[in-house]
């Protein structure tokens, strides 16, 4: 049996993309990955992310927005930044954690733009669905895709 790796998904507010990535990884890869998510700030859990993940059969409603400092004592093998801001401001991780950037669009910002143009609630949720599905596709490549980073 192979030892599980510790992966932390990092985003600005740990409210949407990193939460969806944690949810997908728990759902699809819990046999090989211990997964966590955090933000460089905490913004609470985005209801749009919760809704679209539930549509896909993954319940993240019990997650909470966590700050990166909560994981300072966890030996993280890989930090995966899922937004540009988190990647640019990613703190130092002791112990040889590898930093990998896999950026995804920001669903709340895209939904807000659509709302500003008079788009429906469903059109706004489609922004979340698109990113949810992209994150799932990425998570399906783990942990093998991380080996390429070594």
pLDDT, position 84: 74
Q: Is the pLDDT of residue 91 over 90?
A: no
Report, as residue numbers or ranges, the catalytic residues.
Answer: 11, 83, 90
Say how many CA atoms lie within 13 Å of 24 toward its Cβ: 25
pLDDT, position 150: 59
Among all chains, which residue has been given the structure tokens 């998570």? 139
Q: What are the residues whose beta carbons fall under 8 Å from the beta carbon of 80, sequence distance 6 or more? A: 7, 8, 9, 10, 21, 100, 101, 102
> For 32-65, what is each residue's pLDDT tens digit?
999 999 998 899 999 999 999 999 999 999 999 9
Measured distance CA(3)–CA(136) in Å, rounded = 23
pLDDT, position 50: 98
Measured distance CA(142)–CA(145) in Å, rounded = 5
Tokens standing for 2? 């192979």
> For 119-143, what is each residue's pLDDT tens digit?
999 999 999 999 999 999 999 999 9
What single-letter DSSP state applies at residue 79?
A: E
């Amino acid at each position: 049996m192979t030892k599980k790796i510790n992966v932390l998904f990092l985003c600005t507010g740990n409210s949407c993309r990193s939460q969806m990535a944690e949810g997908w990884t728990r759902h699809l890869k819990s046999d090989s990955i211990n997964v966590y998510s955090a933000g460089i700030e905490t913004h609470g859990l985005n209801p749009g992310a919760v809704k679209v993940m539930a549509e896909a059969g993954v319940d993240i409603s019990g997650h909470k927005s966590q700050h990166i400092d909560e994981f300072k004592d966890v030996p993280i093998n890989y930090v995966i930044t899922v937004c540009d801001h988190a990647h640019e401001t990613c703190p130092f991780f002791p112990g040889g954690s590898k930093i990998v950037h896999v950026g995804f669009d920001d669903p709340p910002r895209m939904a807000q733009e659509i709302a500003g143009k008079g788009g429906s609630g469903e059109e706004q949720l489609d922004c979340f669905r698109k990113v949810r599905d992209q994150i799932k596709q990425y998570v399906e490549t783990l942990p093998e895709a991380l080996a390429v980073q070594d």
